[in-house]
Structure 1
C-alpha cells in the first residue's frame, strides 16, 4: 500500500490565552478550546459554525492505589502541527481517503507527583479526535485504571438513537428518545441475549447518534481500540453530561497499563447535514496505516451458505441427537445415529457450491461442520471445539476439491463459545488446517459468556484476544469476520484482513422475532461508523414459518429493501443469506444481488435522516457503473434523486428495483416492480418507498 503525503505544514490555527489553547479545523467550521480549571483540571470545549457542540467538559483518569490523573496539572508545553495526506485503502467506500487535520498536543505535569501526561487533539473538517498519552518516565511505569473520567457535556436534551450500555453485547434494536427519557424506558430497551451485563439505567453504547433541537447532528464514538477496554457512556441526566465508562475485567479493574502507552481516540463528529456524519472518515484516519506489507490476498467476498436455514431452525448445527453431552476425542461419533437435520453434510454443501458457481459468487460458508455442536453452549465449558475435526458426514477433502473445480472458495467457521483460551490454544493448528484445505477467510464467533470466567466480551483482556486472533490470521494470510466481538473502531485500516464484524443486531434476529423496520436506517449512523458489518442481507421469504413451522417470526422488510442493503450497509463482505430455492422463485430480483459490486471507488450520500431514510450511490471500482440503494423507515416516503454524479455526456441503462404500489413490510413484503430506462447525469428519478421498504438501482454505462 502506498501513502501519498501531500503536505505537512507548520502552520496551525492555535491561539494561547493564558492557559487556554484554541484550535480550528482546516475549513474553520470547528473551533476547540483547551484550558485548565483553577484546581488544574483539564477541560475542552467544542463549537461548530458558531454553535456549541460540547460544553466545557472535564478530562482525566482515576487510577487505583495511587494519585489520579484528574487535577493538579500545569501546562508544561504545547506542540501544534497541520497534517494533510491522501492514502489508499485496500478496500472501502472510496478509492482514496484524505487525512487532513490540525493538531494540538498538550503536555501536562502534575505538581504533586511530577508525572506527565499528554492530551493530543486532532481537529478534522468533520469533527474532533483526542486521546491520552502516557510517555516513558521515571514517575510512571505500571498503573491500573479505576475509571476514565472523560466528559461529553451536551448543550440540551437531544434526541438520541441508543442501545443499552452492556459489557457483553450490542445486539439490540435502537431506541429513539430524548436523553432525559433514557432512564424511564431503559428496561423496555433491554431485551434478552445469550450473554449480557448492564451497568446503569442511563448507560448507553457508542457509536451514539444524536440530533439537537436546532438541527445539529452529533456522534460520539472511539477509534483505535487497542490494548484498552471498550468505552461506554453513562449519562448524568440532570446535567446532560456523558461520562466515559470502561468495561471492567474479571477483577473489576478497567485497565492495566505500562508506559509508554496511549488510550484509544475519543471522537466527536458534528454537522448540520446528516450525510456528513455518514461520509466522515475520522475513525479510519485516527488508526495507524496498514501494517500488512503484502495485501494482494485480501479481497472483498460475496458469498452464500447454509447459515440461514440453521438460524431459522429448518436445519441444525449438530450431527446427532444420541448424546446428552460430548467430549472431544472420547465421544464416538462414527457409530452415532445422524439426526437427518444436520445442514453441513457433503451432499448438501455441494448443492450450495453449485448454486454459487452458477450465479457468480465467490465463496460458500459452512457452519456446524466440526465435532462438538451437541454440547457447545451454556456449560462454561473450556474444551468445546478443536476447529479441525469434521463430523462423519462432512468430507473436508472432497468439499475442497469440488469447490476448487467450480472456482469457488470455502469460508471456515470457528465458533469459540466464548472460550478464548481454548481458541488461542488451537489457533495455529486451525489456521494451518484452513490453508491446507483452501480456506482464505474465517467467520469466528463468541456466543455466550467469556472464559476465563467473570470476564466480559469488551474488556481489555478480551479485546487483546480479538487483536491477537486478527494478527495471527494475517500471518497465515487469512481474512477475519468476527461475530460477537467488540464493535470495530477503524482497526481495519491497520489490519485490512478484518473484512467484517457482526457486533450489532443483524439479520439473524429477523428469525428471532424480528428487527425494527427502521433498524437499517440507524445502523450506518451508529455501528457502521467504526467499520463494515456482516449484516447478512438478501432475505426474500419473509414468513419464517414456511422454512420452519415452529418459528413464527416475520422478516420486517420488503424485498426491495433487502436489495438496497447491499449498497446502504457498506461491507466488503456480503452474503446472499436466503436459501437457493427462495432466490430461484424471484430470479429477476436476485439479479441485483448478482450484479451489485462490493468494492467502490466513489460513494455519494444523496439523502439521510437517522431512523427515517438513507439513500446512497456508489461507483464500482474499476468500472464506470453505479449502484444506488435506499432504505426507508416507518412511514411511506417519496424520494427524488438527481443523477448528477454520473459521468457527463454518457448514457446509462438504469434498472430500478422498487416497492410495488401496495408493498408493505408487514402486509405485502414481496411486492416489487422492476423497470428499465436510459438516463444521463441530467436525469432525475422520482420513486416511492413503502414502510420498511426502499429501492435499488443499477446504472450500467452503455
Structure 2
C-alpha cells in the first residue's frame, strides 16, 4: 500500500470579514470546492463543482440534552492534510481502489467551552464531513437533533423512496425535489446542468440512520429515533457517520464512485481466506410461489430429501452454495424461534455433509420475525457456533416485522444489533447476508465478511405483490440503493408468470422483464453472492440461456459504466478477477432501445469470442418475454457492438479471450 500524507496550505484559503470567517477547500483535481462558513455564531457549508453551486449555504451542528453544539463563540485550530493511496478489495466491483482526498478539521467552541470537532474530506468524486464530540470524562450524552442540511440552488429531478423507519422495500419515485416529503438515503438528483448528486452516509456505527426531510430549500438530516425520542445515546466520545455528497458529471460517474468505501476504516480481520463470494441456489422461490412452505406440514420445503435434490442440480452446474429457509423450529407462529434445532424432517448435519461432498456449502438462515431482543440475541452465539462447527460459510439473516423491544429497524439500537451479528460472524468465520437490514454504508471494507444486504424491493415481490416491480425498477436501483453497496436482489427468474399466488383476482403474478434481461441483471445488479432464484425445472427448459448464469463471475477486477440514464437504460462491463474474460450487462425500462458500445476496454492485440444473449426480434416483457437469440462472433479492442433491447428487455455478453 502506498500512502502519502502532506500538509497542503495552498489548497486551503482563508477569507475574513468583520462578521464572518470562510475557509475554502478543493479536491485533488481542483474541480470540487467546499466552503466552510462561520457567521452569526453558526457553522455552514457550501459545495461547488467547476464554479457551479451544487449545495447552497447549509447548516451544521448538533444539539444535545446536556448542551448545544450548534451555536458557537469561536472556531479555531484548523489542521489540513492530503492523502493519496491505493488499497485492494478482497472482493468487489474492482480490485484496486484509489483513495485520494484533501481534508481539514475545525474546533468549534461554545461560550461554555464545549467543543465540536468538524472534519471535511473532499474527493474528486464528492464531499464528505462528520462530527466528533470528545467526551474525555465519559459522561452520558443524549443527542436530540443533528442540524445538518443539504440545500439546493434549484428544484432538481429526484429519485427517492419514503423514509419508513422499518423498511427500504419500496418502489422509487421520480419527482421534483420539492415533492419529496421524507426520504431514505441514497437519494439521487440530476441538476439542470446534467451534474448528478446523491446524498448518503458512510461508516454508520453506533449511531442512528440518517433519513432526509424536506425543509423548503432542500432537505434536512432526520435521524431515526429511539422509542423515547432520543436520537443517539452515547457514553464517551461521539463520532457521527460521514455525511456524503457523491458528485458526477453523469449518472455513470455515481456508480463508479468509491468515496463511500474510502471513508470506512481498512479491513480489521486478520484472516480472510474463509470469506467466499459465491453463486448460490435456494429452497426459497417455491415458497414465494406457494408451492412449498416454510412451516412443517405437507408442503414443507426444508426437507433432507429436497435439499439433496437441489444440491445434485446445483453442484452439477457449478454453484457453491444452497440456501435453505424453514429448516428450524418457530415458523408456525413466528414465535418461540430456535436457531439451533431443526425440524425432524431436516437433518442439517447430513445435508451439510452432502453439500461438502459435492463441493458446496449450506447457507444458513436466521429469520427472527422481529423477535430480536428477547429471542434472537440470547441464542446468537450458539447459533453461530453450530454453523462454525458444521463448516457453513454464510448465513442469511432476516428481520421481518416490528422489533420486539419497540425500537425501529433503523435506529441506534438495531444499528448496534446488526454490528453484534457482524462481530459474531467474524468470530466464528460465518459471512453475513442480511435481509431487512440496516442500509449499507461502506462497512464491507472494514468487515469484508459482510457480503451483501437486501434493503430493496427485490425479486420476491414479483411472486406475490401488486403491482410487481415495473421494468424501470432495475434501471433505477444502480443509481440509488446500489450506490450504498451490494444488493441481494436474487435475479434469475426464468418463468415470468405464475399460477396460484396471492395477487388480486384478474392480475396474474409476473416478472416484468424478458428472459435476456434476467441474465443481464447478474452484471448490472452487483453482489458477491448472486442467487439463481428459480426452480431447476424452469432452468432445464432453457439450458442454453442458463449457461450464462453458470459462467458469470461474482468477483471483478474492474468495472466500467458504458452508458447510463437513470430509470431509462444502463450498460456496464466487468472484468473477471480470475480470468482475462469480460462480461457486459445492458438493461432498459419499458421502452425498446438501440445502443452502441465500444469495446475500448479489451486488451490490445487479443481476440475475444463474444457470446451474445439478447432479446429476439419480437421480444417484449409483457407479450413475448421468452423470445431470445444467442449469437457468437470474434471481436477485438475498439470494435463496435450494437445492442437492441426490447421493451422491458436486456442483453448479456460474455467476452472470452482466445489464446492465439
TM-score (norm 2): 0.96
1:569-580 to structure 2, matched below 5 A, reads 569-580=525-536
| Correspondence for 1:326 | none
Matched, 1:10 2:10: no
Map of 1:66-81 to 2, 5 A cutoff? Answer: 66-81=66-81
- 3-state DSSP class of the match of 1:374? coil
Any conservation in 2 of the 1:291–1:494 contact (CA below 8 Å)?
yes
3-state SS in 2 of match to 1:425: helix
- Match of 1:413, SS state, is strand
Q: Is the 8 A contact 1:314 1:548 kept in 2?
A: no
Consecutive aligned runs of 4 or more in structure 1 exceeding 2 Å deviation: 546-552
Give the corresponding residue for 2:303.
345
Does the C-alpha gap of structure 1 residues 361 and 548 become closer, same or farther in structure 2, counting only changes over 3 Å? Answer: farther
- CA contact 1:225–1:264 (8 Å) conserved in 2: yes
Q: 2:326 corresponds to which residue?
A: 368
What are the residue-to-residue correspondences of 1:610-649 with 2, within 5 Å? 610-649=566-605
1:267–1:548: structure 2 CA closer, same or farther, 3 Å change rule? Answer: closer
Would you say 1:97 and 2:97 are equivalent positions?
yes
Q: Larger deviation: 576-585 or 7-16?
A: 7-16
3-state secondary structure, aligned to 2:169: coil
Q: Do the aligned partners of residues 272 and 584 (structure 1) sit closer, same or farther apart at CA in structure 2, a change above 3 Å counting?
A: same
Aligned to 2:239: 262
Query: CA–CA distance in 1 between the matches of 2:423 and 2:389?
Result: 19
What is the aligned length?
Answer: 648
**Residue matched to 1:392:** 344
Q: How does 1:489-638 map to 2 (within 5 A)?
A: 489-511=441-463, 512-513=465-466, 514-545=468-499, 552-638=508-594
Q: Determine if contact 1:544/1:555 at 8 Å carries over to the other structure.
A: no
User: 2:124 corresponds to which residue?
Assistant: 125
Aligned to 1:437: 390
CA distance in 2, matches of 1:548, 1:161: 29
Contact 1:298 1:479 in 2 (8 A): yes
- In structure 2, the partner of 1:322 is none
Tell me, yes or no, if the aligned pair for 1:115 and 1:137 is still in contact at 8 Å: no
The alpha carbon displacement at 1:440 in A equals: 1.1
Q: Which runs of 5+ in 2 are unaligned?
A: none
* Cα displacement string for residues 417-442 of structure 1 (whole angstroms, at most 9, x for unaligned residues): 11222211011110111122221100
Query: 1-side partners of 2:349 and 2:108: how far apart?
Result: 61
Q: Matched residue of 1:399: which SS?
A: helix
Do residues 106 (structure 1) and 83 (structure 2) align? no
Q: What residue number does 2:54 align with?
A: 53
Which has the larger displacement, 387-396 or 66-75? Answer: 66-75
Deviation at 1:11, TM superposition (A): 2.2
Alignment partner for residue 227 of structure 2, among 250, 254, 263?
250
Match of 2:200 in 1: 221
- Matches of 1:157 and 1:400 in 2, distance apart? 55
* Distance in 2 separating the partners of 1:137 and 1:341: 59
Corresponding residue to 2:32 among 30, 33, 49: 30
C-alpha displacement of 1:505:
0.8
1:147 Cα deviation from its structure 2 partner: 1.4
Q: Partner of 1:122: helix, strand, or coil? A: strand
Contact 1:104 1:121 (C-alpha < 8 Å) held by counterparts: yes
Match of 1:673 among 625, 629, 640: 629
Residue 265 (structure 2) pairs with residue 288 (structure 1): yes
* Contact residue 223 and residue 264 of structure 1 kept, 8 A: yes
Which digits, 9 at most, give the CA deviation of each residue in 1:566-603, with x for residues without a partner? Answer: 11111101000000000000010001001101100111
Alignment deviations for residues 318-351 of structure 1 (CA, whole Å, 9 cap, x no partner): 10xxxxxxxxxxxxxxxxxxx3211111111111
Q: Which consecutive residues of structure 1, in runs of 5 or more, have no partner in the other structure?
A: 183-201, 320-338
Match of 1:488 among 440, 463, 466: 440
Structure 2 CA distance for partners of 1:67 and 1:400, relative to 1, 3 Å: closer
The answer as to 2:376 corresponding to 1:419 is no
Q: In 2, distance between residues paired with 1:278 and 1:207? A: 12
Cα distance, 1:291 vs structure 2: 0.6
Q: How far did 1:142 drift? A: 2.1
Q: Is the 8 A contact 2:501 2:509 kept in 1?
A: no
- 1:271, distance to aligned residue in structure 2 (A): 2.1
Q: Distance in 2 between matches of 1:73 and 1:227?
A: 29
Give the distance between the partners of 1:548 and 1:48, measured in 2 at CA: 50
1:544–1:554 contact (8 Å) kept in structure 2: yes
- SS of 2:311's partner is helix
Q: 8 Å contact 2:289–2:500 — kept in the other structure?
A: no
Question: Would you say the 8 A contact 1:48–1:271 is kept in 2?
Answer: no
TM-superposition CA deviations, 1:490-526 (whole Å, max 9, x none): 0110001000100111111111231121111111111
User: Does the Cα contact within 8 Å between 2:290 and 2:500 map onto a contact in 1?
Assistant: no
Give the SS at the match of 2:451: strand
Cα distance, 1:682 vs structure 2: 2.1
* Equivalent residues of 2:74, 2:110 under 8 A apart: yes
Q: How does 1:438-453 map to 2 (within 5 A)?
A: 438-452=391-405
TM-score, length-scaled by structure 1 = 0.91
For residues 31 and 700 of structure 1, what CA distance do their matches in structure 2 show? 43
* 1:305 paired to 2:307: no
> What CA distance in whole angstroms lies between the structure 1 residues aligned with 2:550 and 2:433?
21
Q: Is the 8 A contact 2:131 2:239 kept in 1?
A: yes
Query: How far off is 1:137 after superposition?
Result: 4.3
Alignment correspondent of 1:196: none
Q: What RMSD over aligned residues (CA atoms) do the two structures have, in Å?
A: 1.4
CA apart distance, 1:548: 8.6
